[in-house]
Structure 1
Amino acid sequence: MSVVLLAEDDPAIAMPLSRALQREGYSVQVIEDGTQALHAASDGGVDLLVLDLGLPHMDGLEICRRLRAQGRGLPVLMLTARTDEVDFVVGLDAGADDYVAKPFRLAELMARIRALLRRNAPENLEIGGVRLELTARRVIVDEHEVQLANKEFELLRVLMQHAGEVVTREDILEEVWPEPGRKGSKTLDMHISWLRRKLSDSNGSRLDEQRIATVRGVGFRFNTD
């Protein structure tokens, strides 16, 4: 489970954003003070820092500069109420990986968070006899390469990155079919069926449903054993 440190002193932003992150399956730590946020980010155990620019005692720019001076490669998504292009440039120069202006759309912010976490995720995933090579976009099942279409690959990536957890239909559709007018549940079910068939053992010794389980009324789970 990825750990997100949310450094935001406005409860009207911090509380709903924290709940949204938890619904996505992240572990969230909320800190309202800049000095404490720097200490928490420096201590390790954090996968992403969502950092408000205007924190008390130490602002987001200084926190970011100090983290980079320490050699910390922790991905940083900076939040600010300022909209001047100069402020965006200053934030990126301070070491932020991405920058979102308030007020923001929650869906856009969550998409950027997922993108930053993917950037720092392992290049390969190997679970239950399935090896997913993200950079090469290759899938190896029981030592045999399997050819997947683009959406099948993205679907498998989402499920394997949350292996052992139930991923809801809504979350899968948002992640794999983010474009406007995206396809609905019938398309998802069809792709799940194709993916199961391709991941099945060639000799039939392992049923495809064992790898990708249906959780009725909720979504799907990639089993780890």
Structure 2
Amino acid sequence: MGSVSEELTLVPLHRRPELLEACAELLHEEWGRSRASRLHTLQRSSDSFPTCLLLLRSQGSAEGPCQLVGHVRLSRVATRPHSLFVESVVVARALRGQGYGRKLMEATEQWARARGFGCLHLTTHDKQHFYAHLGFVLGEPVQSVAFLSPNIPAELLRLFSTHPGADTSTRPSLPPALPPPVSSPAAPTPPAPPPNVIWARGVLAEGNGSSLLETPHRDAKGLPIFWMKKDI
């Protein structure tokens, strides 16, 4: 007798509210946070974004009993109407190492593409090689609408992704009221060097001083963080 086939489906959490508690527990196992705060965030899921998507596994039929496999959260990106920001990507610990992370991301891409979006952005501290093998490349910081107002200037956003040697304790200085006196003609500007091209574990990465092994960006806690994107 043949084995029962496995059915995987990706559904918005707000369409399956009975899975709210299970989803909160899945996220809590990975990132400790108060239950009330976690539930409040998950309950904000909607078709208008942010949207929490659940990967469900069932045996034989999607109508039968299902198991929560993974979760991903999608938000809009300021000034980029065709882009989405991906976060809180997690697979149940008991199911890791079986390819479900890839399936979760592939299903997320299909879901976004079917709704007219053409690019996904994300950040990671240590999973850059996983995302690179899924087709993501190094990118620049973007602004997630779910957390920051679209009116925040780009200069302030860059404070959250400074170069390792930058002094983050000081604010950017204002330009002088009057230009300094010109002492001599400026020297010609040398041509910009070509972008760095680095091979890391068989994956090509192009960037401005970035690679899959090093990043010039830091998160709000000062930890190295990789910004990545993928055209879908």
Report the TM-score, using the length of structure 1 for normalisation: 0.29
Report the TM-score, using the length of structure 2 for normalisation: 0.28
Which structure: greater strand fraction? 2
Looking at both structures, which has the greater relative contact order when contacts are Cα pairs under 8 Å and sequence separation is at least 6?
2
Which structure: greater helix fraction? 1
